[in-house]
Amino acid sequence: MTLNAPKTLLILFFASASLARGQDPPSEETIAFYEQNCMSCHTIGGGRLTGPDLKGVSERQTREWLVGFILDPKKVIDSGDTYAAEILRESRGALMTKVPGIDRTLAEKLLSFIDAESAKETSRYAGLQVSDRPLTDADIARGRRLFLGKDRFEGGAPACVACHTVNGLGGLGGGRLGPDLTSAYARLEGRNALAAWLSAPPSAVMQPVYRKHPVESEEILALVAFLKNTAESGSSDAPPATLSFLLAGFGGAIALLLVFDFLWRKRYRAVRRPLASGRLALDRQS
Ligand code: HEC
Ligand code: HEC
């Protein structure tokens, strides 16, 4: 077998790159997992969001502790660990969620990835690509139109109103699958944290939808402006008329599909579980 020259060069390049760091470069899967499951709450070198800045975290705790924490944050906190109590307090009581689908090997890989990013002067994960320019009235108006589905998202994401409402929406109201977002701006602790949240929503319902249809940074900024404005004006309105909105038009049809898909999945699981445990009970009897 012969290797052609470009291939050999490529192999040499990767071999030397990983030698330089003393480990394999993080795989695409590890990076994708980080982006989808960790980035919404953490930066690497860009300051705290919901969770602490992870830059240099391996200098603060042992690898073993960090792996244990990533695998089951609540367990470590409940064990009375003083360091865990400290970072929980610094996060004002916000609890890191146990990330589904994670195991020890993946946690190790994520930590190696975080170490590699920490070693860089500026990590790509230092902060959002969302600009910190002042928010304008035009942003608020655009955010409102995006929220309501009057403007379409570039990436084809569904309108927020399919699942959420806020005060001041007027007659039609919004969906009820997600929480009322009137005070989301304050609850998620302001502009940067909310923008980070929206750029990779850690919500089990939103993530699968918005991963496929990411909201671009100017759109996020507009939504943040809209939600900030909503939180500040705090007007209270008539209760939302969910179904009449859902049935109103094309956006509603997509929303209904999403809602039914979601409900159906839940239902499917709800049926499966009793069946499986019934089976177990029978096994034990025989
Ligand atoms: C919902 C927000 C959220 C998500 C998502 C999240 N974390 Fe966290 N993380 C936190 C918070 C908050 C803390 C601080 C401890 C606490 O309050 O639970 C934390 C703490 C940590 C720590 C310890 C930090 C320190 O300073 O010692 C590590 C390491 C960590 N997270 C890694 C991860 C990784 C890796 C992922 C993705 C698999 C992830 N986190 C996903 C919120 C989150
Ligand atoms: C398919 C339904 C759906 C759509 C569409 C949707 N969300 Fe959500 N959202 C949810 C659900 C459900 C939750 C609650 C968290 C969970 O259970 O996953 C949530 C939670 C949130 C939260 C966190 C609220 C809090 O207080 O913690 C914010 C912020 C949010 N959504 C903003 C948006 C924005 C902005 C849009 C439009 C770009 C949007 N959502 C579109 C279903 C949706």
d(C-alpha 239, C-alpha 166), whole Å: 10
What's the Cα-to-Cα distance from 89 to each of 78, 104, 146, 259, rounded to whole Å?
13, 26, 36, 36
Ligand 1: does its nearest atom lie under 6 Å from the Cβ of 85?
no
CATH level 2 (architecture), domain 137-253: Orthogonal Bundle (1.10)
Atom of ligand 2 nearest to the CA of 187: 26
How many Cβ atoms from other residues are within 10 Å of residue 281's Cβ? 8
Q: Where are the domains of the chain?
A: 24-119, 137-253
Look-up of token digits 């005060």: 167
pTM, two decimals, is 0.58
C-alpha distances (whole Å) from 62 to each of 34, 58, 67, 68, 246 are 20, 6, 9, 10, 51
CATH assignment of 24-119, given 1.10.10.10, 2.20.25.90, 2.40.37.10, 1.10.760.10?
Answer: 1.10.760.10
Tens-binned pLDDT, residue by residue, of the chain (286 aa): 444 555 545 554 444 444 444 467 889 899 889 988 898 789 999 888 888 999 999 999 999 999 999 999 999 999 999 999 999 999 888 889 888 899 999 999 999 999 999 999 988 888 766 778 899 999 999 999 999 999 999 999 999 999 999 988 866 678 889 999 999 999 887 888 888 788 777 777 887 788 788 898 899 999 999 999 999 986 544 444 444 444 454 555 565 556 656 555 554 444 444 444 434 434 344 3
Nearest atom in ligand 1 to 202's CA = 5
Domains 24-119 and 137-253 fall in the same CATH topology: yes
Is 36 touching ligand 1 by the criterion CB < 6 Å?
no
